[in-house]
Amino acid sequence: MRVLVAEDEDVMADALARGLRRAGYAADVAVDGGTALELARLNRYDVVLLDRDLPVMHGDDVCRALVAAGTPARILMLTAAGGLDQKVDGFALGADDYLAKPFAFAELLARVQALARRTTPAQPPVLAAGDVRVDVARRTVTRAEEPVDLTLKEYGVLVELVRSGGAIVSAEDLLERVWDENADPFTNAVRVTMVGLRRKLGDPPVIETLRGAGYRLVVR
């Protein structure tokens, strides 16, 4: 899952991005409305955290432009003004949710999780491929009923492979969905993560590499 944090206060933006990454999300940061709109047009986000009072381009205008462009991302507006009129205005622009500052990060994370689930088709709470089970609510993985301890990136890669239903997932797609804008497209991060994931899942191997194409989950 990938989130865009559009917030002009550096300390707040960094804190939100760090918290989201610890929770397993790929998080990009934009410090003004123009950059936020550009990033949202270039990348596929599940959720956009959109501060309303952004420089260069106001958050309301960013929201209006994203909705007009048919973005699949869900928009959570953040603002210091939490009155009823402001909330009504935000929803009228097309925002999916509204959160007034100051807020507890736990509440923001719960709202992000709820919005992210709405960007993809409904999924069962437990994803399965052969004897591999992924509990997306608890973020736990088992194989043959034995727990598998994965890093956040390994978990994210596995979820994408299981959700693909056996279709090929390219390294570029994995970088986009599991990492963030700071990931070097020429990095070997996907390959290194895949090595660790394969080792932890054990034998017989369930991840197949198709040279020049990507990876897929194979249930034998």
Structure pTM? 0.65
Q: Which CATH architecture has domain 126-217?
A: Orthogonal Bundle (1.10)
Alpha carbon distance 215, 220 (integer Å): 16
**Which of the 8 DSSP states describes residue 205?**
P
User: What is the CATH number assigned to the segment(s) 2-117?
Assistant: 3.40.50.2300
Domain segments of the chain as ranges: 2-117, 126-217
3-state secondary structure of 133: strand
H-assigned helices in 27-138: 33-42, 59-68, 84-93, 105-117
Model confidence over 50-107: pLDDT tens digits?
Answer: 999 899 999 999 999 999 888 889 999 998 765 556 666 656 788 899 888 889 999 9
Classify residue 145 as exposed, middle or buried by CB count within 10 Å of its CB (0-12, 13-18, 19+): exposed
Model confidence over 109-157: pLDDT tens digits?
Answer: 999 988 887 766 556 678 888 899 998 878 889 999 999 999 988 998 9
The reply to whether 2-117 and 126-217 are identical in fold is no
pLDDT exceeds cutoff 70 at 205: yes
